[in-house]
Amino acid sequence: MAKDNVDLICDISELAGLFERSHSLADFLQSAVSIVAYHMRAAVCSIYLYDEQTEELTLAATQGLKPESVGNVKLKLGEGIVGTAMKDLQPICEGHGSANPNFKRIEGIFEENYEAFLAVPILLRGVMRVGVLVTQDPQPDYFHINDIKALRAIASQLAVVIENAKLLMSLHEARKQTTPAAAPEHSPAMVSFLKGTTASSGVVQGTAVILDGHGYDVLTVAADDETSPYTLEDFNLALQESEEQLTELQRHMEERLGDVASLIFNAHLLILKDMGFSGAMRKLIDQGTPADRAVSSVVNDYISLFAKSSNPRLREKVLDVKDLGHRLLRNLQQHGEDHGDYAGQIIIARELLPSDVLKFAAQSVEGLIIVQGSVTSHISILARSLRVPMVFVEKPEILDIDEGTVILIDANQGTVFLDPSEKILRQYEPLIHKEEDAPPEVFPETFTRDGTKITIHCNVNLLSDMEFARQNLAEGVGLYRSEFPFIVRDEFPSEEAQKLIYEKIFAGLPDKEVTLRTLDVGGDKKLPYHQHLEEANPFLGLRAIRFSLKNLPIFKQQLRAMLRAGHEKNLRIMIPFISSVDDFLAAKDVLEACKKELADEGVPFNPSPAMGPMIELPAAVEIIDELAQESDFLCIGTNDLIQYLLAVDRTNESVSSLYVCHHPAVLRAVYRIINAAINNDVDVSVCGDMALNTEMLKFLIGIGLRKISVDPQHIPRIQSFIRELHTEEARQHARKLLRFGTLREVNRFLSERSD
């Protein structure tokens, strides 16, 4: 019997829909097994949960077996097919389950009626045992390779929800032994202006929301002693409004950002529905505590427990709890007047995870101020793609200002005004309330004044960037940063989940060339759920291709997903951080192995994608001819190339002034790369910020570059510049720049041109 398409049951929005209708973990799991059984056309679907202390699996939900068996059927690690799948951390698919030597028949649950057996471990971060997802059917040999892939994709999503639920339940005992945390007194900080570093541009005004400060986060309410007007009825309404808003936010984010929005509000909803949370608030209200103070007291209690926990995953939930408290109080105090979001507010935090940036953007935050010394590239790129102004400052005293303080952020200049004067507000009013300009005219192709074709592709960070790519007539995707679905989620995205994302990239620009870069993590881009070594210098450590070659199962899943999504498409696969021909050849060998696997499985895929290295290390420049001979294309990542050539950490404000794209060493290295590509008849492009600088773009075109990739919002400006440029003028410009041996000479030449 034909089953539903794998894509359908892997669609995370369906799991999100189940979650929003559930009132407990047990309710959610029961709904999950029912819908999985339906899509798989399987007679039975069951979920077993694993207890690390007893090393025992317990049947937690089932569709098809005897309902009374839930909670009563228990298997030791390694016992039966289910226990064996859990022990070995591998799926087991049997056409005749009873023929498996590990099969264990359990009397009285009607299992004897089902012959086909498929058990898939539910694993967190690929290794942590959570449970087992099982399907069974009377028809022998009923389950096949696609069913294993489908259940693996669902299991990875179940793992995150179950972990959050378990973490929450583990707090209940600890909470009974603590007293609510009192909010410390905040003394206003005597500052009015701060200079920081721009992470994402824009000018916004709003009121301050402080997300962390004195030791751990606390939620405050109005500091008067008058009796609060809010009742139990008001609280129940605020609770209902909050749940409806979060559900709608999740649904909206799945539609807009299906690549990174995977159940991002599931922790909020779990906590909200937990009786230890909302029930404790009701109890305080019944005892006479005003509703707003009951909310604040319980939220502070949970914040304290989360912040002091030895479990790092629990500590990461601190902002989720405070965010939820913020929503409850806003809904309680302003019924019908807003949506509990951060519209009109600016968040100030010591540190944010990429998932936090995503959540706050979804909740209409005006801007973000981060109190730490360096601009981490991943959350900066994320904020830019989400169009949220963000500034990094090094003044921790901003965490001491009163909530509600008026703040003006000029993220174009990296400045922050606290409680700005009327004069400053008037000066900035035209920028704050700037009307959208008419979209500039763009053309489907770009030519210089003398008719030389320059191809403009776009860099893509999130699926939402594809809308701007289409609007600005990008001729293809020159760089898709595939790490964001890894960084923002709570778990490695499965092969199926990645395939769906890549397919949406191709669908965004049909019939265009699409370059997918393999996972680039390391440096300041760490996976919070993956155990990583503490490295003294992570920028020189286990980064990008080094990580992938050390973690082959992850690398192969990604390459398989790219090959499958690129079936009958113009697919290019880019390998980052290549320092030797050997690394690149090793990556090619893994790609060939993936092709063979897919061919053996009879799965459609792209048999001949173009493959090329990202040139961003000095070592790659030194062997550029050899790399060009082994490659289908070269792509110059100027951001990292400049950083490593000049030994300047571009995220370090102390030395950031030394990070210059027009340094003679940079100009000569880029010339050498492009010249090698031309001599070896290999396509070459630039995807770094160097192409956004018009003087440098003129240089690049002058030395023979004919393809660039930029963030889509920059395409109109760059196209307009190129259309006014003559290639002979660009060649003369490049020749002069290449003659200079000192930065002083280059600076003088460029300043004379700008006069």
- Known active-site residue 93: no
582 falls within a domain? yes
Q: Closest Cα partner for 262 from 127, 523, 463? A: 463
pLDDT at 635: 98
The answer to whether 327 and 340 are in contact (CB under 8 A) is: yes
Tokens of 624: 């550029």
Q: Which of 662, 687, 714, 733 is catalytic?
A: 687
d(CA 130, CA 210) in angstroms, rounded, equals: 35
3-class state of residue 186 by DSSP: coil
Place 9 in a pLDDT band, splitting at 50, 70 and 90.
very low
The answer to whether 271 and 323 are in contact (CB under 8 A) is: no
Q: Closest Cα partner for 120 from 36, 8, 17, 3? A: 36
Q: Please enumerate in sequence order all residues whose Cβ is within 8 A of that of 437, keeping only pairs 6 or more positions apart, or say none.
A: none
Q: Please enumerate in sequence order all residues whose Cβ is within 8 A of that of 334, keeping only pairs 6 or more positions apart, or say none.
A: none
- In tens, the pLDDT along 733-750 reads 999 999 999 999 999 999
Which has more pLDDT, 355 or 709?
709
150 falls within a domain? yes
Q: Which of 326, 339, 378, 663 is catalytic?
A: 378
Whole-Å CA distances, 558 to 9, 68, 206, 496, 522: 20, 41, 41, 9, 17
pLDDT at 223: 46
- In tens, the pLDDT along 320-363 reads 888 888 889 888 887 655 566 888 999 998 888 777 888 888 88
3-class state of residue 123 by DSSP: strand
Could you tell me the sign of the dihedral formed by the alpha carbons of 536, 540, 543, 545, in that order?
A: negative
pLDDT at 492: 79
pLDDT at 10: 44
Q: Mark whether 172 and 213 lie in a shared domain.
A: no
301 falls within a domain? yes
Q: Mark whether 407 and 465 lie in a shared domain.
A: no
d(CA 454, CA 451) in angstroms, rounded, equals: 9
pLDDT at 339: 64
Q: Please enumerate in sequence order all residues whose Cβ is within 8 A of that of 446, keeping only pairs 6 or more positions apart, or say none.
A: 453, 454, 455, 456, 719, 722, 723
What are the residues facing 707 on neighbouring strands?
455
Question: For the ranges 202-206, 386-390, 396-400, 614-618, which has the lowest average pLDDT?
Answer: 396-400
CATH code, domain with 37: 3.30.450.40
Q: Please enumerate in sequence order all residues whose Cβ is within 8 A of that of 462, keeping only pairs 6 or more positions apart, or say none.
A: 257, 259, 260, 382, 385, 386, 484
pLDDT at 189: 43
> Which stretch, 10-14, 16-20, 94-98, 697-701, has highest mean pLDDT?
697-701
181 falls within a domain? no
- Known active-site residue 687: yes
% pLDDT > 70, the chain? 84
| φ, ψ dihedrals at 211, nearest 5° | -100, -15
Q: Mark whether 158 and 210 lie in a shared domain.
A: no
DSSP characters for 709-724? EE-GGGHHHHHHHHHT
Q: Please enumerate in sequence order all residues whose Cβ is within 8 A of that of 440, keeping only pairs 6 or more positions apart, or say none.
A: 716, 717, 720
The answer to whether 547 and 522 are in contact (CB under 8 A) is: yes
The answer to whether 479 and 460 are in contact (CB under 8 A) is: yes
The answer on pLDDT for 630 being more than 90 is yes
Which domain covers residue 424, as residue numbers?
193-218+231-432
Amino acid identity of residue 240, one-letter, is Q
CATH code, domain with 499: 3.20.20.60
DSSP characters for 1-58? -PPPPHHHHH-HHHHHHHHHH-SSHHHHHHHHHHHHHHHHT-SEEEEEEEETTTTEEE
Place 172 in a pLDDT band, splitting at 50, 70 and 90.
low
Sheet holding 193-195, edge to edge: 193-195, 415-418, 406-410, 203-210, 345-349, 367-371, 390-393, 197-200
Q: Mark whether 199 and 172 lie in a shared domain.
A: no
3-class state of residue 605 by DSSP: coil
Place 6 in a pLDDT band, splitting at 50, 70 and 90.
very low
Alpha-carbon dihedral of residues 356, 362, 364, 368, nearest 10 degrees? Answer: 20
Element (H, E) at 127: none
Across the chain, what does the average pLDDT equal?
85
Q: What's the domain count of the chain?
A: 3
Q: Mark whether 15 and 141 lie in a shared domain.
A: yes
pLDDT at 254: 76
Which has more pLDDT, 266 or 548?
548
3-class state of residue 526 by DSSP: coil
pLDDT at 437: 61
Amino acid identity of residue 544, one-letter, is A
Question: For the ranges 221-225, 379-383, 458-462, 642-646, which has the lowest average pLDDT?
Answer: 221-225
pLDDT at 176: 53
Question: For the ranges 316-320, 341-345, 410-414, 493-497, which has the lowest average pLDDT?
Answer: 316-320
Q: Mark whether 667 and 740 lie in a shared domain.
A: yes
Which has more pLDDT, 596 or 39?
596
3-class state of residue 182 by DSSP: coil
pLDDT at 36: 87
pLDDT at 407: 94
The conformational region for residue 392 under phi > 0 = left, psi -120 to 50 = alpha, else beta, is beta
Token pair 């936090």 is found at 356
CA 511 to chain centre: 27
3-class state of residue 299 by DSSP: helix
Q: Where are the alpha helices (DSSP H) in 187-317?
A: 232-256, 266-273, 280-286, 291-308, 312-315
Q: Where are the alpha helices (DSSP H) in 97-231?
A: 145-176
561 falls within a domain? yes
Q: Mark whether 693 and 626 lie in a shared domain.
A: yes
Token pair 């405050």 is found at 220
pLDDT at 359: 85
pLDDT at 531: 59
pLDDT at 219: 63
Q: Mark whether 480 and 339 lie in a shared domain.
A: no
> Looking at residue 483, what DSSP letter applies?
T
Question: For the ranges 183-187, 589-593, 703-707, which has the lowest average pLDDT?
Answer: 183-187
Question: For the ranges 9-13, 121-125, 671-675, which has the lowest average pLDDT?
Answer: 9-13
d(CA 212, CA 186) in angstroms, rounded, equals: 12
pLDDT at 375: 54
The answer to whether 635 and 575 are in contact (CB under 8 A) is: no
Q: Mark whether 340 and 473 lie in a shared domain.
A: no
CATH code, domain with 322: 3.50.30.10
226 falls within a domain? no
439 falls within a domain? no
pLDDT at 215: 42
Whole-Å CA distances, 413 to 205, 357, 366, 433, 650: 15, 21, 17, 17, 17
Q: Where are the alpha helices (DSSP H) in 537-693?
A: 544-550, 552-565, 581-601, 618-622, 624-630, 638-646, 664-679
Buried b / exposed e over 565-583, threshold 16 CB at 10 Å, is bbbebbbbbbbbbbbbbeb
The answer on pLDDT for 157 being more than 80 is no
| φ, ψ dihedrals at 505, nearest 5° | -65, -45
d(CA 395, CA 218) in angstroms, rounded, equals: 20
- In tens, the pLDDT along 18-54 reads 555 666 678 878 888 988 888 888 999 999 999 888 9
The answer on pLDDT for 190 being more than 80 is no
% pLDDT > 90, the chain? 48
The conformational region for residue 308 under phi > 0 = left, psi -120 to 50 = alpha, else beta, is alpha
Which has more pLDDT, 5 or 382?
382
Q: Mark whether 684 and 711 lie in a shared domain.
A: yes
pLDDT at 278: 87
pLDDT at 150: 83
Q: Mark whether 78 and 167 lie in a shared domain.
A: yes
Q: Please enumerate in sequence order all residues whose Cβ is within 8 A of that of 585, keeping only pairs 6 or more positions apart, or say none.
A: 630
The answer on pLDDT for 417 being more than 70 is yes
Q: Mark whether 390 and 487 lie in a shared domain.
A: no
